[in-house]
Amino acid sequence: MTKEAITVIIRNQDKINTPETIKQHFEELGYICSDSIATAVYLACHLQKPILVEGPPGVGKTELAKKTSELLSAPLIRMQCYEGLDEAKALYEWKYGKQLLYTQLLKDQLGDVMRGAKGPDESVARLHQFGDIFYSEEFLEPRPLLEALRTDDGAILLIDEIDKADQEFEAFLLELLSDYQISIPELGTVKAKSNPLVFLTSNNTRELGDALKRRCLHLYIPFPSQNIEQKIISAQVPELNTELSQQLVKFISELREMALKKVPAVSETIDWARALLLLNVEQLDQEWVKNTLNLLLKFQDDIEAVEPEINNLLKAANKTH
């Protein structure tokens, strides 16, 4: 264990002392997870390493960070990545407006200071006595990364969709991820008051650099097994009757076997379950599936491919009852 252990972790020691307890606590919060997810969070907390979470969209990558922040009752600081994101938006920014305003206001005072100085050399020497007032903490506008480092008790930092950011930005993150510190040219190195717990998520639109991967624990979240998905549904939509939810989970897993542009993820399953509940559906049948298919599939091509197969899929879903 390193010296500057995360305060929130010490405080919540009892909630995270084994992967098993983490899993149980997550379950209480309504987040059903697999063993590997619980192990990842456990390791991240104790080794103080960032987790890189990969997996298809909609399997709960972002949700994991949110629930962890809930579990540890630490603030969640989220940074959404996109192409062209630079350090001015991610790390810090000087308050230029304020700087300008202050120079205007201080003009007269500067005149007073300068009065009586002989020649430019002396004026500059006098100015130097004041230090860099305009580039000090007061004029610093913290952005998510800096904010995470300055949180007293440690925070959960979620760097969402890192693959959307440019390669340069990835390199810039390396210092933060391995040493929890950041260099600001005007101020020097800012060290974390208490190390944040970092989650990075990626949809794999681009291959991430090895340097970044090396610094992280790598967690791949696949689509959940039928068993776990069933649990997720009953945690998220408890009003739905068990038989229907079983049928629904089987139907979805059959659907995932098909060659579709985008297969339905867990979030779609939950949406669908909620919709079926709202519509008071008792039993999945062809008509209902057909009418609600657009909740599951987001491409017209996919819908057209699935529609003629609905009957077969339903049969397969009902078979093992």
For residue 79, which of 162, 176, 11 has the smallest C-alpha distance?
162
Interface positions, 159-188, toward other proteins (CB under 8 A): 167
Residue from the set 220, 228, 234, 254 that interacts with other proteins by CB under 8 A: 220
Please, what is the end-to-end C-alpha distance for the chain in angstroms? 50
Contacts (Cβ under 8 Å, ≥6 apart) of 141: 92, 93, 94, 95
Q: CA-to-CA distance for 154 and 76, rounded, in angstroms?
A: 10
Of residues 126 and 206, the one with the C-beta less far from other proteins: 206
Candidate residues 9, 173, 197, 219; the one interacting with other proteins per rule CB under 8 A? 219
Closest alpha carbon to 129 in 140, 117, 137, 141: 117
Of the candidate residues 24, 80, 82, 100, the single one contacting other proteins (CB under 8 A): 100
Nearer to other proteins, 21 or 246 (CB): 21
Task: Render 81-115 in DSSP notation, one character per residue.
Answer: --TT--HHHHTEEE-HHHHHHHHHHHHHHHHHHHT
- Interface with other proteins (CB under 8 A), residue total 34
- From residue 51 to residue 90, the character string flagging contacts with other proteins as x (rule: CB under 8 A) and all else as - is -x-x-----------------------------x---x--
Residue 50 makes contact with other proteins by CB under 8 A: no
- Eight-state DSSP code of residue 297: -
Question: Which residues of the chain form contacts with other proteins (CB under 8 A)?
Answer: 19, 35-36, 39-40, 42-43, 46-47, 49, 52, 54, 84, 88, 93-94, 96-97, 99-100, 103-104, 134, 167, 206-207, 210, 213-214, 216-220
